[in-house]
Amino acid sequence: MEKVVFLDRNSLKANLRRPSFDHEWGEFDQTLSSDVVDRLKGATIAITNKVPIRKDSIDQLPDLKFIAVAATGYDVIDIPACKDRGISVANIRNYAVNTVPEHTFSLILSLKRNLVAYRKDILAGRWQKHDQFCFFDYPIGDLSGSTIGIFGEGVLGQGTAKIAKAFGMNVLFADHPPPKAEGVKFTDPEELLREADVISLHCPLTESSRNFIGLNEFKKMKKKAILINTARGGLVNEQDLVIALKEGLIAGAGFDVLTKEPPIEGNPLLDINLPNFILTPHVAWASDGAMQFLADQLIDNVELFISGDPQHLVT
């Protein structure tokens, strides 16, 4: 009989059916890294969203044969160690095709139209004291005719491009060949940084992409450009982003992710009190529909592995 253990059930706000095969089920609201081995002892299948499963834990879990990641990103898993042990790992595909692009554009529109700044002024009573029907303290930019540069041409990058085109934006993609969609021509990243009015990140966090946007990249961007990151914390050097915002190297930024989450030890982005910076708590993926789709595919992945027809494997 299989033993299935979900390490951080509270990270998924959705109905979760039990696998159809004979099994023992265990779940924990959340799990500290120091408790991973004890909680997975005897487990053949582990489910995790954000709890890391590293080599030192894997080496102490001889029964483990499958890890189902309750997310698309799987950087919390030590993939080389799993390969060495013959442990299969599957992730979630195509579940956030609407929610992440929509959140991305919520940030873009809020920043381009300075909604946070205007809202703050209204709460402070500025409109109520004004001598005419409106005031123009902050610039308001149109999306139509502007250029968005997208790093990552997966389904989320493509979904963002689709919305951008509906707004009349010119779309540039920076990725590696071959293109995943028809009619896509890649732009050199250096050119994209120079030309884009909006830059949106939709790429995975790897050793090569870690901190790939820093002070040098900010200096290449337009001063009116805004940067959006709904992908992964760590893609952008956070200290350099603070400098870029405070020195006016870019016009604004909208982030849904931080390098370490939750930021219990603090983070420089938490201390930014500027109307041209918006930070949300890693919720771009979390519409009700997207979470239920994720939960259903998560158990599908487990059942398909046990049936001998594994899907969505990353190793």
User: How far apart are the C-alpha atoms of 15 and 305, rounded to whole Å?
Assistant: 21
Q: Is residue 315 part of a domain?
A: no
What's the full length of the chain, in residues? Answer: 315
Residue 314 resides in a domain:
no
Positive or negative: CA dihedral 108, 113, 114, 115: negative
Q: Cα-atom radius of gyration of the chain, to the nearest Å? A: 22
Q: Does the predicted TM-score (pTM) go above 0.75? A: yes
Same-domain pairing of 174 and 47? no
| Pairwise CA distance, residues 211 & 207, whole Å | 9
The CA distance from 225 to 196, in Å, is 7
- Catalytic residue status for 102: no
Q: Report pLDDT for 182.
A: 84
Residue 284 domain-assigned (yes or no):
no
pLDDT score of 76: 95
232 is an active site residue:
yes
Phi, psi of 225 (to 5 degrees): -75, 150
Q: Return the pLDDT at 176.
A: 82
Q: Are residues 109 and 171 both part of a single domain? A: yes
Q: Domain count for the chain, please give it.
A: 2
* Amino acid letter, residue 253: A
CATH number reported for the structural domain that contains residue 201 in this entry: 3.40.50.720
Whether residue 20 is contained in a domain is answered as yes
Judgement on whether residues 229 and 135 belong to the same structural domain of the protein: yes
37 Cβ contact partners less than 8 Å away, ≥ 6 residues apart = 57, 60, 61
Query: Do the Cβ atoms of 190 and 220 come closer than 8 Å?
Result: yes
Same domain, 108 and 140: yes
Expressed as residue numbers, the domain containing 148 is 99-279
Contact at 8 Å (CB) between 233 and 261?
Answer: yes
- Residue 218's identity, in one-letter code, is F
Report pLDDT for 61: 98
Which of 9, 103, 202, 232 is catalytic? The answer is 232
206 and 269: one domain?
Answer: yes
Residues of the chain with pLDDT under 50: none
- The reply to whether 195 and 77 lie within a common domain is no
Structure tokens at 60: 């102490």
**Residue 282 pLDDT:** 96
What is the reported pLDDT for 60?
98
Structure-block tokens of residue 289: 């529909």
Contact criterion met (CB below 8 Å) for 68 and 40? no
Identify whether residues 162 and 72 lie together within a single domain. no
Q: What is the pLDDT of residue 179?
A: 87
Same domain, yes or no, for 213 and 121? yes
Q: How many CB atoms are closer than 10 A to CB 135?
A: 14
Please tell me whether residues 174 and 63 are part of one structural domain: no
Q: Residue 313: inside a domain, yes or no?
A: no
String of DSSP letters for the chain: -EEEEES-GGG--S--PPPSSSEEEEE-S---GGGHHHHHTT-SEEEESSS-B-HHHHTT-TT--EEEESSS--TTB-HHHHHHHT-EEE---SS-TTHHHHHHHHHHHHHHTTHHHHHHHHHTTTGGG-SSS----S-----TT-EEEEE--SHHHHHHHHHHHHTT-EEEEE--SSPSSTT--B--HHHHHHH-SEEEE-----TTTTT-BSHHHHHHS-TT-EEEE-S-TTSB-HHHHHHHHHTTSSSEEEES--SSSS-TT--GGGG---TTEEE--S-TT--HHHHHHHHHHHHHHHHHHHHT---SB--
Choosing from 24, 191, 247, 261, which is the catalytic residue?
261
168 and 52 in a single domain? The answer is no
**Residues 197 and 241 placed together within one structural domain of the fold:** yes
Catalytic residue among 9, 103, 202, 282: 282
Q: Is residue 171 in a domain?
A: yes
Q: Is 261 a catalytic residue?
A: yes
Residue pair 167/148 in contact (Cβ under 8 Å)? The answer is no
Q: Is residue 296 part of a domain?
A: yes
CA–CA distance, 140 with 114 (Å, rounded to integer) = 6
- Confirm if 174 and 188 have CB atoms less than 8 A apart: yes
Instruction: Tell whether 243 and 267 lie within a shared domain.
Output: yes
Give CA–CA dist 186/173, Å, rounded.
5
